[in-house]
Chains A and B, each alone.
Chain A
Amino acid sequence: MSKRAASTCQPKKDGMRIKAMLLLSLCSLIVLSGCWDLRYLDKLGVVLALGVDVDPAGKQELQLTVQVVLAQNVAAESKGGVGGTPVTTFTETGDTLFEAIRKMSAKTSRRLFFSHTQMLIIGEKMAKRGISSLTDLIERNPDIRTDISVLVARGITAQQLLQTTTQMESIPINQIHEMIEVNQDSYGTNYVVEVHDLSMLAGKGKQQAALPSIRLEGKKALRNTVDNVNRIPASAYPVLSTMAVFKEGKLTGYLKPKQSRGLSWLQEKVKSTTVTLACPESQGHLVVEVHEASRQYQVERTPDGMPVIKIKLLITGSVQEIMCPGVQVVEEGTLNEISLLAEGAVKAEAEDAIRKLQKEWRTDVLGWGREVYLKQPGIWKRIEPEWPEVFPNVKSVVDCNFNIIGSGVRGESIVK
């Protein structure tokens, strides 16, 4: 029986051999794995933020600080235990970011993993020296996202900021990251700027950068201890400041809060905010909440061939708080009056920001150059070479239209 089977199965044998080989090579895949880009999750140090400072020793170009998650401590926390700190930082100097990153391997037991990096923080000194060169690595390297947000550490180094423990979020960088978004969504003095926004500025029109800034309040010396967050309130905590303005990649200065929001109006970054107004005919204040804000640019041409920037701000909002005696918001006339006041207030903020940026600092953060290029290419072609000199003298008109659509459920104010 077996002999016969052997003889009759002869033509089949080759096929069997091929199948066996295929099976064998399939099985070898198990053993061979790991050659390619297999990365064990527990062998990665997830970097959440990069901080760049000037090398304090002055020997090299920069000093890089990374904030790395300690996953085991995050887990201990979620189970209610008291682990160590959820993050730690590593600092290294280098002439370029990449050099510093690779030098850091002398201090870390895990490979640094940059795909989940959320923020790039630039120390004040570094910001003054120039930021243009920093974004190149992030743009170029496929591992790092370009939608990470960029921030200036005001009055401190990036390293100090990254070493600060926070209370609301156990991972400090989450707190800082969320702060900007929450602020933009509800007050509008700062707005999120991402790495790719910065690199877009380099295009036609030569727009200058503006970045949100953050400072540290309280006892800075205690910032990096667990004790810091074991008090109410924390001894040292990060506070969002105003927009930092750059010229040619170098930090020029910080706007005042009102100007900072003026910049937000002009950049169409305000999502929701409150405008406080003096009562029309008495002491006290009333507050208008903004629901929607948009901005329209128009570029016109003066007889002498210069551009005139016409800015129209269209805002919708409602009355939220009235601390004025005798104001009857049920009357349409009162609402019109309030909306006129609000228009004036917003316009003042915007004009103040323009004055500061255009006349004082002479830096085109508003992107007027690009507007001229897009809407009056003829003029742009002519003035492009002298734009830095022309810009401070460009005329602008701000027009604001504030539409009040509601006043809450109460007609009269409680204040008599």
Chain B
Amino acid sequence: MFGSHITGRKKTGGKADKRSVRAEEHEQQQLEGYSKKPLSVSLKDNQVFIQQEMGESQDIIFRSIRLTDTGQTNVLIVYVQGMVDDERMNKFIIEPLHRERYPADRELEPNELTDKLKSHILSIGIVSDIKDWKQFFQKLLLGYSIIMIEGTAKAIAANVVGGERRGIEEPKTEMAIRGPREGFTESVRVNSAMIRRKIRSPKLWMEQWTIGEISQTPVCIMYVHGLADENVLKDLRERLDAVKIDGILESGYIEELITDQKWSPFPTIMNVERPDAVAGNLLEGRIAILVDGTPFVLIVPSILNMFFQAAEDYYQRFDIATFLRMIRFVSFLIALLMPSVYVAIVSYHQEMIPTQLLLKLAAQREGVPFPAYLEAFIMEFVFEILREAVVRMPSAAGNTISIVGGLVIGQSVVEAGIVSPAVVIVVSFTAIASFVSPAYSLGIAARLLRFILLLAASTLGFYGIALVVLLLLLHLTNIRSFGMPYTKPFAPLKIKDLKDTLVRAPLWLMRERPQKLAVQNPVREQIEPEPRKEPGQ
């Protein structure tokens, strides 16, 4: 729905005039239009203006309080119901105001009252001044409570942001046997605090943007100053500045708008749900992008290798972690290649498999009405449908799908002789292998490419597979993520960085931070360089 309003960073000749027309259309809707307009000194006028601008929405609450005995209303509190914490609101704004009573002779000047409110009365941590309607609406819609005073064009915004939100739960997409159980939430502040709790350093810096012309979504970047590459930072800032879109509802919007590779199935920006994973990446000199409203935090620059690393790798012993890493790489290859290799073998290269296996496969294919490649296509497609059904469906119906999917598709189809058991085995194994990847976004890439490979295998056999794989390798070596080659450290080869790729070297061997990322400060502040020697050795 917001997609139609995107104007990307890429400017082509035709787009300039389109944009200006659009800008006019949107002028009234967007907050920029309010920036010149000051508040009125009259509370009445202000209230009327707000109601008019916001269409008399019922969730905008106006609460007036009299501070004097003369009968005149002189303080107006405006907030959005549900976005403020009612308890704090009552306790720290309304209650103190109620206690203030000024007799007619001791009435304060409006400006004096404003200062006094800020300095004495409101027991709120974050308080700021508001001078125009742009600031007013920004704060109001972030969940601030706005206190306006009769007789002055200034208002005070008090941070009582609250309301019901999802609490911190275990991350749903990145499970770990061992490791912290907390995952990010939808609130950018809660998320940034979770990162700060992991990296308690003054050098953990943050910068904030408000992106989305209408949605006004807070977007933060976090990095460790002195570790993160200044060039990448500069590049990232420019890209974020250039984002023009109506709304950011999820970090996927940002990912798509700032990514280097617009036409690649491979993700060049990683998303993570675990604070510990983000912290680990920040410590290696990468930058995190936090977007309000989503638990998925983006990491830049992201290279292929990172998608095979799970946070848990660093919590388990290195030998076990290495074994798991290798399983992941192998599984990725299986998920990518197995159906196409099967099709190539049974359609073109029957001489390549052992005789006994050939006879078994031939026996299974006996009487199957479809050629092998069509069979594989059908089953892969059926599997994708099943998978999508399970993801979207209400969880109560989950069992039904697994029974229908498992029994009907898996068993009956084979028993009826419509599909050979070998294809079912291949497809199921591929499916299992594709779930091994810790990064879902790379798994999707493999899903797409699998069909292309299947097509190549069914037309040209191994030759076709080799061609597509070659093209893929070419493509991979061409991709960059914020200036970093995607296939690093394999190509270009950085022997030192290979310690955290196919293998996960012991921590005491990984003394140096990944090259190129941490140019400014290449050596990790390390634990002892080597394991403590046994006394007496």
Q: Looking across the interface, which residue of chain A has its beta carbon closest to that of B358?
A: A116
Contact assessment for B362 and A69 in the assembled complex, using a CB-CB cutoff below 8 Å: yes
Q: In the bound complex, what is the Cα–Cα distance between A113 and B372 (angstroms)?
A: 18
Residues of A near B456 (CB, < 8 A) are 29
**A39:B348 contact, CB within 8 angstroms:** yes
Question: Complex Cα distance A41/B461, Å?
Answer: 14
A71-B373 contact given A29-B459, A41-B346, A41-B347, CB 8 Å threshold = no
| A221 at the binding interface (Cβ < 8 Å) | no
> Is B470 part of the binding interface, using a Cβ–Cβ cutoff of 8 Å?
no
Q: Which of A39, A42, A115, A145 contacts B368 (CB 8 A)?
A: A42
B302 within 8 Å of A (CB atoms): no
Please tell me if B355 contacts chain A, counting CB pairs below 8 Å: yes
Chain B residues near A46: list those with CB within 8 A: 355, 358-359, 362
Q: How far is the CB of B468 from chain A (nearest CB, A)?
A: 11
Q: B350 is contacted by which of A41, A74, A75 (Cβ under 8 Å)? A: A41
Within 8 A of B (CB), among A3-60: 4, 7-9, 26, 29-30, 32-33, 36-42, 44, 46, 48
State whether the Cβ of A412 lies closer than 8 Å to any Cβ in chain B: no
B residues 356-370 in Cβ contact with A at 8 Å? 358-368
Query: Which of A9, A38, A44, A78 is the one whose CB lies under 8 Å from B362?
Result: A44
**Cα separation A36 to B455 with both chains bound (whole Å):** 15
A72 located at the interface, meaning its Cβ lies under 8 Å from any Cβ of chain B in the complex: yes
Annotate B441-471 by CB proximity to A: 1 below 8 A, 0 otherwise: 0000000000000011011110000000000
Q: Which residues of A contact B368 (CB under 8 A)?
A: 42
Please name all residues of chain B whose beta carbon is closer than 8 Å to the beta carbon of A71 when the two chains form the complex: 359, 362-363, 365-366
CB of B374 to closest CB in A, whole Å: 9
| Bound CA span A171–B355, Å | 12
Q: List A contacts of B348 (CB < 8 A).
A: 37-39
B264 CB to closest chain A CB (Å) equals 15
Within the complex, what minimum Cβ distance (angstroms) separates A45 from chain B? 10
Identify B366's interface contact among A33, A75, A115, CB under 8 A: A75
Measured between beta carbons, the chain B residues less than 8 angstroms from A33 are 373, 458-459
The yes or no answer to A143 lying at the interface (CB within 8 A) is yes
**A8's closest neighbor in chain B, by CB?**
B14
Q: Which residue of B14, B350, B363 contacts A44 across the interface (Cβ within 8 Å)?
A: B350
A264 within 8 A of B: no
Q: Which residues in window 135-171 of A have CB below 8 A to B?
A: 143, 145, 171
Q: Enumerate chain B residues within 8 angstroms of A65, measured Cβ to Cβ.
A: none
CB pair A8 B18 closer than 8 Å: yes
CA distance A39 to B344 in the complex (A): 10
Q: Let me know if B364 and A75 touch, CB within 8 A.
A: yes
The answer to whether B350 and A39 touch across the interface, beta carbons within 8 angstroms, is yes
**A13 shortest CB reach to chain B, Å:** 12
> Quick one: closest A residue to B452, CB to CB?
A26
Q: In whole angstroms, how far apart are the Cα atoms of A119 and B159 in the complex?
A: 87
A71 to B361, CA, bound (A): 9
Contact among B14, B455, B460 for A26, CB-based, below 8 A: B455
In whole Å, how far is B415's beta carbon from the nearest beta carbon of chain A? Answer: 12
Q: Is A118 an interface residue (CB 8 A)?
A: yes
Contacts of A78 in B (CB 8 A): 360, 363
Say whether A42 contacts B350, CB under 8 Å. no
B-chain residues with CB within 8 Å of residue A41 when the two chains form the complex? 346-347, 350, 358, 361-362, 365, 372
Q: How far apart are A117's CB and chain B's nearest CB, in angstroms?
A: 9
| CB < 8 Å neighbour of A40 from B18, B347, B363 | B347
B contact residues around A42 at 8 Å (CB): 362, 365-368
Known: A4-B18, A75-B364, A118-B355. A40 touches B372 (CB 8 A): yes
CB-defined interface of A64-108 with B at 8 Å, one 1/0 digit per residue? Answer: 000001011011001000000000000000000000000000000
Distance in angstroms between the alpha carbons of A7 and B13 in the assembled complex? 11
Known A4-B18, A38-B347, A41-B372: A72·B367 in contact at CB below 8 Å: yes
Q: Are the CB atoms of A29 and B359 closer together than 8 Å?
A: no
B351 on the interface (CB 8 Å rule)? yes
How many contacts A-B (CB < 8 Å)? 82
Contacts of B13 in A (CB 8 A): 8
Judging by beta carbons under 8 Å apart, are A72 and B366 in contact? yes
- In the bound complex, how far is the Cα of B348 from the Cα of A143, in angstroms? 12
Which chain A positions have C-beta within 8 A of B366?
42, 71-72, 75
Which residue of chain A is the closest to B374 with respect to CB atoms? A30
Min distance, Cβ B403 to any Cβ of chain A, angstroms: 25
For the complex formed, measure the closest distance between the CB of A109 and the CB atoms of chain B, giving whole angstroms.
13
A36, B351: Cβ atoms under 8 Å? no
CA distance A29 to B350 in the complex (A): 21
The answer to whether B355 and A48 touch across the interface, beta carbons within 8 angstroms, is: yes
User: Are the CB atoms of B14 and A115 closer together than 8 Å?
Assistant: no
Answer whether residue B15 sits at the interface, using C-beta atoms and an 8 A cutoff. yes
Is B226's beta carbon under 8 Å from chain A?
no
B7-36 interface code vs A (CB 8 A; 1 in, 0 out): 000001111001000000000000000000
A387 to B226, CA, bound (A): 86
Cα A44 to Cα B371 with chains together (Å): 13
- Residues in A with CB closer than 8 Å to B18 are 4, 8
Q: Which of B312-354 contact A (CB under 8 A)?
A: 346-348, 350-351
B-side contacts of A7, CB under 8 Å: 14
Tell me how far the C-beta of B15 lies from the nearest C-beta in chain A, rounded to whole angstroms.
7
Residue of B nearest to A48 (CB): B355
Question: What residues on A are CB-neighbors of B455 within 8 Å?
Answer: 26, 29-30
Question: In A244-294, which residues have CB < 8 Å from any B CB?
Answer: none
**Which chain A residues border B458 with CB–CB below 8 Å?**
30, 33
Task: Check A113–B359 contact: CB distance below 8 A.
Answer: no
| B residues in contact with A143, CB < 8 Å | 351
Kindly state the separation between the CA atoms of A30 and B368 in the bound complex, as whole angstroms.
19
Nearest CB on A from B367, distance (A) = 7
Q: CB-CB < 8 A to B460: which residues of A?
A: 36
A209 → B minimal CB distance (Å): 26
* Given A4-B18, A32-B459, A78-B363: A40 touches B358 (CB 8 Å cut-off): no
Q: How far is the CB of B100 from chain A (nearest CB, A)?
A: 56
Among A26, A36, A40, chain B packs the most CB atoms within 10 A around the CB of A40
- Shortest A152–chain B CB gap in Å is 23
B459 lies within 8 A of A75 (CB): no
In whole angstroms, what is the CA distance A283 to B367 when docked? 66
A36-B460, A42-B366, A72-B367 known; A9+B350 contact, CB < 8 A: no
**Closest chain B residue to A37, Cβ basis:** B348
Residue interface bits B370-395, CB-to-A below 8 A is 1, else 0:
01110000000000000000000000
Kindly provide the distance from the CB of A3 to the nearest chain B CB, expressed in whole angstroms: 12
Interface positions, chain A 319-364, Cβ under 8 Å from B, are none
Name the residue of chain B whose CB is nearest to the CB of A4.
B18
Give the residues in chain B near A72, CB-CB below 8 Å: 363, 366-367
Bound-complex Cα distance A113 to B362 (A)? 12
CB interface residues, B 384-411, toward A, < 8 Å:
none
Q: Which residues of B contact A30 (CB under 8 A)?
A: 455, 458-459
Give the nearest-CB partner of B458 in chain A.
Answer: A33
Q: Give bound CA distance, A69 to B356, whole Å.
A: 11
Which partner residue on chain B sits nearest A83 by CB separation? Answer: B363
- Tell me the bound Cα distance from A69 to B455 in angstroms: 30
Residues of B within 8 A of A (CB): 12-15, 18, 346-348, 350-351, 355, 358-368, 371-373, 455-456, 458-461
Kindly list 12 other residue pairs between chains A and B, CB separation below 8 angstroms, not including A33-B373, A74-B363.
A8-B13, A29-B459, A37-B461, A39-B347, A39-B350, A40-B347, A41-B372, A42-B365, A46-B362, A48-B355, A71-B366, A72-B367
Q: 19 A-B residue contacts at CB 8 Å? A: A4-B18, A7-B14, A30-B455, A33-B458, A36-B460, A37-B348, A41-B362, A42-B362, A46-B355, A46-B362, A71-B366, A72-B366, A75-B363, A78-B360, A115-B351, A116-B351, A116-B355, A116-B358, A171-B359
| Interchain residue pairs A-B with the least CB separation, the first 10 | A8-B14, A75-B363, A115-B351, A71-B362, A71-B363, A33-B459, A29-B459, A42-B365, A72-B366, A116-B355
